[in-house]
Amino acid sequence: MKYFYDLHIHSCLSPCGDMDMTPNNLVNMAKLLGLDVIALTDHNTSLNCEAAMAVGREIGLLVIPGMELTTSEDIHAVCLFPDLEKALAWNDYVDKRRIKVRNRAEIYGRQVIMNKNDEETGEIEHLLLPATDISIMNAYNKVKEFGGICYPAHIDRDSLSILSVLGEIDESCGFKTAELADKSKLGALKKMHPILNGMNIVTSSDAHYLENMREAENFIELDALTAQSVLESLDK
């Protein structure tokens, strides 16, 4: 069956994420847009995944817990996990390996943790944008140790992408999937980077605002829709 997805969405916990991106708002918006599965991938944290997953269960939409990791090279990578326990274990690992600079909310916005009722339960003091000490060269294998998968984000962008920083996707990284922001660029990218011909390609919104979330367009074919089945389809 075809299942419509968006596997790269931010909540109000991400710096520069709009405060309207609450767990209830973003999950219900995804439902209204006709999506079947989304992933919550805040910058260097997974602490709003529990709330979003709870809302998803209530309205019948699968929410995969994840994170958008910033590597030591300042490259963004999407990390997805089959369950909350593994995502939070990865969250704790990353938290010990990121640069701690106090957030300036007047510049970057607040970094708010919420429960499933959109009630504030905490706020992260240190800015979530800076790099971690995890290299893009070993990100895939390290995430696999925690039971998840990892792939380079928005490779077609001019900044914070593996192609803009390194110029190529090295086979030794181990990635099976790559994400595009604009899938119309895929043909040209495949000519320039033949490695993409052997990879799974996903297109997601990277939405930080409700109005940036996309209607059901991109789909994945699965026998049954579970977080594990989504991860397995992207890791082969």
| pLDDT beneath 70: ranges in the chain | none
- 205 contacts 213 by C-beta, under 8 angstroms: yes
- Domains located in the chain, CATH noted: 2-234 (3.20.20.140)
Q: For strand 62-70 and strand 76-80, is the pairing parallel, antiparallel, or unpaired?
A: antiparallel
| pLDDT recorded at residue 63 | 99
| pLDDT recorded at residue 16 | 87
> Looking at the whole model, is its pTM more than 0.95?
yes
Among candidates 51, 17, 54, 2, which has minimal Cα distance to 213? Answer: 17
Q: How far apart are the first and last CA of the chain?
A: 18
Encode pLDDT of 197-215 as tens digits. 999 999 999 999 999 999 9
Encode pLDDT of 35-49 as tens digits. 999 999 999 999 999
